[in-house]
């Protein structure tokens, strides 16, 4: 969340961010409830002080056997208690409404974020590699997966419904190989690997900025009041919740985890194959650092470069785009997406995302550090998808297919694929 003092000073800037991100929240209403809340806090504190003084005086009068004045003070105390009860009731309403509105307030966007309404308005920064045209003999990833016995969508649907799949044989090996390659790259960059909870409490999703606006994307375990994570960013950030950390050096955390997403609102969109599925695996990188805008901006470039390094090792063409204001989530200050070329789509498809959140998550999660003057400050947090599979398998096998149906294995993956250089079909068309 944003600092309420900062919101009071910059209400128009925050309202502009809400409009840009298409979040229905009135900053004017928030500030009105904030004013009521503060006024009621002052009132209740004054009434409690008066009540305490009256209680002390009543006790003194009892020792003095002054029943007449004591009874008078008791009547005054009764009136004060009633006024306090009413004020506390009003305060509870004001606090609740203030909190509800604060949970909807978005992060502002960086000055260099493109203005736009959707991903169509994202701005390309650079391209790496040459996109491959879809020749007549080429197959999409589903057909290739069937040819190699790697992907089985029908049985996935049989077992778990739409947007589910099995990866078999070399498909499962590739799935694990790209994850391990990503993990090894991050370890070489100084990241600490964590095995994280897949089920989390609702407060962790509020504190990391995924609730309340993203509730429809998350699977809930009803009897437990817990939720399945859609990214290990949630438990990685929460690892240091309510702590004072040493941020003298950026804290670099990584996790390889299964993730779940309901994909509500995407009916009829990218339903074929492995692009948009309910269960997938991600290798996530998260950084906590000092609240220095220049530092966190450099780190955003660094984690984006880590993801680019992976794609270069996979020998895949891709582009990096600056995400526009209307395509950003509530929590994001600045974002880059990486889109990898997918021949069957004859377009780039999003495979990675990098975000600088500034102190938005740290305020909600209460993650602080001491600056050089000993003052407590909230950290900046950043996150990036180092790799997400099986989506990455789409460009991996489509771009590396040969006319004879075989699939080239990039050199970087070979140690994780038992040294093989090429995969061959298990059946003939």
Give the residue numbers annotated as catalytic, written as ranges: 261, 276, 350, 353, 391
Beta bridge pairs of residue 124: 321
Residue 396, both tokens: 């991996």
For residue 17, which of 273, 253, 330, 293 has the smallest C-alpha distance?
330
- Residue 152: phi and psi, rounded to 5, are -135, 95
Residue 158, both tokens: 């049989």
* Whole-angstrom distance, CA of residue 57 vs CA of residue 76: 11
Total Cβ atoms within 10 A of residue 339: 22
Beta bridge pairs of residue 347: 342
- Residue 169: phi and psi, rounded to 5, are 55, -125
Reported residue count of the chain is: 429
What kind and span of H or E run contains 340? Answer: strand 334-342
Q: In a 3-state reduction of DSSP, which class is residue 314?
A: coil
- Residue 167: phi and psi, rounded to 5, are -105, 130
Total Cβ atoms within 10 A of residue 406: 16
* Whole-angstrom distance, CA of residue 170 vs CA of residue 64: 91
């Amino acid at each position: 969340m944003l600092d309420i003092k900062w919101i009071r000073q910059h209400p128009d800037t925050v309202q502009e961010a809400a409009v840009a991100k298409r979040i229905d929240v009135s900053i004017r209403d928030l500030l009105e409830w904030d004013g009521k809340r503060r006024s009621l806090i002052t009132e209740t504190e004054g009434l409690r002080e008066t009540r305490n003084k009256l209680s002390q005086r009543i006790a003194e009068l009892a020792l003095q056997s002054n029943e007449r004045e004591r009874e008078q003070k008791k009547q005054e105390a009764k009136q004060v208690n009633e006024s306090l009860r009413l004020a506390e009731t009003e305060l509870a309403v004001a606090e609740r409404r203030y909190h509800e509105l604060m949970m909807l307030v978005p992060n502002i966007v960086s000055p260099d974020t493109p203005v736009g309404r959707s991903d169509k308005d994202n701005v390309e920064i650079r391209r790496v590699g040459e996109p491959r045209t879809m020749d007549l003999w080429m197959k999409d990833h589903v057909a290739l997966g069937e040819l190699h016995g790697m992907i089985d969508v029908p049985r996935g649907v049989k077992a778990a419904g739409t947007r589910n799949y099995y990866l078999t044989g070399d498909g499962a090996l590739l799935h694990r190989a790209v994850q391990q390659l990503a993990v090894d790259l991050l370890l070489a960059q100084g990241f600490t690997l964590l095995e994280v909870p897949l089920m989390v409490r609702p407060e962790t999703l509020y504190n990391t900025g995924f609730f309340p606006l993203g509730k429809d994307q998350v699977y809930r375990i009803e009897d437990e009041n817990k939720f399945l994570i859609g990214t290990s960013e949630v438990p990685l950030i929460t690892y240091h919740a309510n702590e004072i950390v040493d941020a003298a050096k950026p804290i670099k955390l990584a996790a390889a985890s299964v993730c779940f997403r309901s994909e509500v609102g995407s009916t009829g969109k990218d339903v074929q194959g492995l692009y948009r599925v309910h269960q997938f695996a991600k290798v996530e990188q998260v950084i906590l650092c000092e609240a220095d805008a220049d530092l966190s901006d450099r780190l955003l470039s660094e984690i984006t470069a880590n993801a680019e390094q992976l794609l270069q090792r996979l020998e895949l063409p891709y582009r990096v785009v600056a995400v526009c204001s209307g395509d950003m989530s509530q929590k994001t200050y600045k974002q880059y997406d990486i889109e990898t070329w997918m021949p069957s789509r004859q377009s780039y498809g999003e495979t990675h995302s990098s975000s600088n959140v500034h102190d938005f998550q740290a305020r909600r999660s209460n993650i602080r550090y001491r600056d050089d003057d000993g003052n407590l400050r909230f950290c900046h947090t950043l996150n990036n998808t180092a790799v997400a599979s099986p989506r990455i398998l789409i460009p991996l096998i489509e771009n590396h297919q040969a006319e004879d149906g075989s699939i080239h294995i990039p050199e970087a993956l070979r140690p994780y694929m038992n040294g093989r250089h090429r995969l061959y079909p298990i059946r003939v068309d």
